Each structure stands twice: as C-alpha cells, then as structure tokens.
C-alpha cells in the first residue's frame, strides 16, 4: 500500500511540475484547438492549447523503468499499446494544429493505426493467456473464451479508445470519468476472485495514471487552460481497455464505463435515426454531453452527473462481488 501511495504522489508531483511548463510551451508553439463550426457555443475556447495529454503520459514514461523491472510482459504490452495510441493521437492533433482546422487524420488512417495496435495487443495477449479467462460482472463466474478472447480484446481496444475520445468534449469530463473508472478498477482487482501474475505492476500503473490525472484536472477543469487532445483521450482509452481485459475484467467496461458506452450509443442512435427519418434527430446534438449543453446544463453540472453515474455503477459492481 505504501508503494502505491508513493507512486501516486510521485506521478502527481511530476505532472504538477510539468503542466505549467508544457502549457507555456504549447502556447508558444501556437498549438491551439480549433473549434468546429457546429459547436459554436464553445467558440470562446478556440485557441486553448491542445495535446495536454502529455501531462499525464510523461509521468508514466518517466516512472516505467523504475517499477517495471524484470520480466513483466503484460504490463509492458499495456504501456506500449497506450503510448502507441497516444502517438497516433499526437499525429491527429498535430495535423489539426498545423492546418488550423479541426480535421486531423482521415477516418481510414485512424482505423488502420488503431486496428494495427489492437491486433498486436490481441495476439500477444492470446499467447500469454491462451485460456482467455474473463469474469462476468454481477454473476462472478469465469468464462474461458479460449481463442475467442483475441477478437474480444481487439474490439474492446478499438471501442473503448474511441468511446473515451467521444466523451472528451467538455472541460474535465473524460479525465474525471477515467479517473473514477481506474480507481474502481484498482479496487476490483484486489477484491475479485482472480490471481494476477503482475498484480503489483497493474496496481502501480493505475496509481501512476490516477496521480497524474489528478494534477491534469487542476488545469483541465472548467474553464480549461489546456485540452488533452486525441493524444490524451486515446491513451486513456487504451489504458482502460488493456488494464480491464488483462485483469480478466473486460466486460466490466460495459457497466463501470457506462458513460463512455452511452457517448458512443448516443452518436449511433442519432446517425441511424437521422438517416431513417431523413433529417429528424433524437438529440439536440451528440455526443450526449452536447445535448445536455444545448438543453442549458453547465459544464460542471454535466461532469458531476457523469461522475455520479460512474460512482453508482462502480458501487453496484462492488456490492455484487
């Protein structure tokens, strides 16, 4: 427990020290976020530095050589995959900043990049965990999926990274929900009927990420001084997905990550209904947090709602274990 606290405080301190320096650098480089024309109610945020995800990514990169010693393939795969997704997000953010448009990588380029990383993660995970064991939430029974764990890992990686990316639409939202998710995930890893060969490394990964997210939120909460950008959201999505699956808790994302799921579903529902009805909409705007904004909700209130629902779902999962 002391080690977890030390790494939490260490990552918090590193992120807290780096944040002002990195924000100043991003402003100097004119790495400002361009706001899409149909999100005109965010026009006052135009020019806010983006790519701030580096604030909570660097502490992990700095501390990794310290806590990952010896042979820990699962932890290394999680770290490499998350950094890989972050680099993909960086390319997307960089193009947006360079062109001064909120249009980065093309959809097919994102799919190829994300798919390539997800395939590698699925292959390595299948080799290291051929049983494909996964815990079913609320029922507390294991399902040995065998080879079929590979496509599941692939889908979870792709779906979760994009769901977190969609949720990153207002100040502090994606970072706050991710922090609560990881906090509960750490609890579940300790109370679930599972034995993890890399338990210590997983807990330290969670501790480091939570610590740096706390520091990041001091600069990202309304009104934000910096945005995490796709670099940050893809990193968090990959970290959440890989940690969950590698802890045999992949299906828990559907419950504990319900707000991420709902962000994605709201977009799917909106697009499908628009096409079927030839122009009609279910929501005023999607993802759903923008619908709430259009309905007069303040950003802080929306963040509080998403956090509250995530905490409730986490509590329900905890009671059932």
Query: Tell me: the pLDDT tens digits for 245-255?
Result: 999 999 999 99
Q: How many helices (H) and strands (E) does the chain have?
A: 12, 2
Query: Tell me: the pLDDT tens digits for 8-53?
Result: 999 999 999 999 999 999 888 877 666 554 555 566 767 788 899 9
- Which parts of the chain register pLDDT below 70? 32-43, 45, 70, 101-102
What is the chain's mean pLDDT, rounded?
Answer: 91
For residue 133, give both structure tokens. 């064991």
The Cα-based distances of 199 to 84, 131, 213, 219, 270 in angstroms read 23, 18, 21, 31, 41
The single residue listed with the structure tokens 């909409």 is 281
- pTM, entire model: 0.93
Query: Tell me: the pLDDT tens digits for 195-209?
Result: 888 899 999 999 999
Q: What is the CA radius of gyration of the chain?
A: 19
| CA 42/CA 170 separation, integer angstroms | 9
Angle between helices 229-246 and 107-128 (to 10 degrees): 20
For residue 129, give both structure tokens. 């965990």
DSSP 249: -
């Amino acid at each position: 427990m002391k080690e977890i606290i030390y790494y939490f405080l260490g990552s918090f301190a590193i992120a807290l020290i780096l944040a002002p320096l990195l924000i100043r650098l991003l402003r100097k480089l004119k790495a400002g976020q361009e706001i899409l024309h149909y999100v005109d109610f965010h026009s006052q945020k135009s020019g806010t530095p983006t790519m701030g995800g580096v604030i909570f990514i660097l502490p992990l990169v700095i501390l990794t050589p310290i806590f990952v010693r010896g042979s820990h393939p699962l932890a290394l795969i999680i770290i490499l995959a998350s950094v890989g997704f972050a680099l993909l997000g960086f390319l997307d953010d960089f193009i947006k900043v360079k062109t001064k448009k909120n249009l980065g990588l093309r959809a097919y380029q994102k799919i190829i990049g994300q798919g390539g990383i997800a395939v590698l993660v699925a292959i390595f995970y299948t080799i290291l965990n051929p049983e494909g064991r996964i815990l079913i939430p609320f029922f507390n029974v294991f399902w040995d999926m065998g080879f079929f764990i590979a496509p599941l890992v692939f889908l979870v990686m792709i779906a979760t990274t994009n769901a977190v990316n969609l949720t990153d639409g207002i100040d502090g939202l994606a970072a706050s929900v991710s922090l609560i998710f990881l906090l509960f995930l750490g609890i579940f890893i300790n109370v679930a009927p599972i034995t993890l060969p890399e338990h210590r490394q997983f807990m330290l990964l969670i501790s480091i990420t939570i610590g740096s997210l706390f520091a990041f939120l001091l600069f990202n909460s309304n009104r934000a001084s910096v945005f995490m950008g796709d670099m940050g959201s893809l990193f968090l999505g990959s970290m959440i997905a890989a940690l969950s699956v590698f802890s045999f808790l992949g299906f828990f994302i559907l419950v504990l990550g319900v707000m991420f799921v709902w962000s994605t579903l709201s977009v799917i529902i909106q697009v499908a209904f628009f096409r079927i009805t030839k122009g009609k909409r279910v929501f005023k705007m999607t993802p759903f947090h923008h619908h709430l904004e259009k309905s007069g909700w303040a950003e802080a209130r929306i963040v509080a709602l998403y956090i509250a629902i995530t905490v409730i779902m986490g509590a329900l999962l905890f009671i059932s274990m």
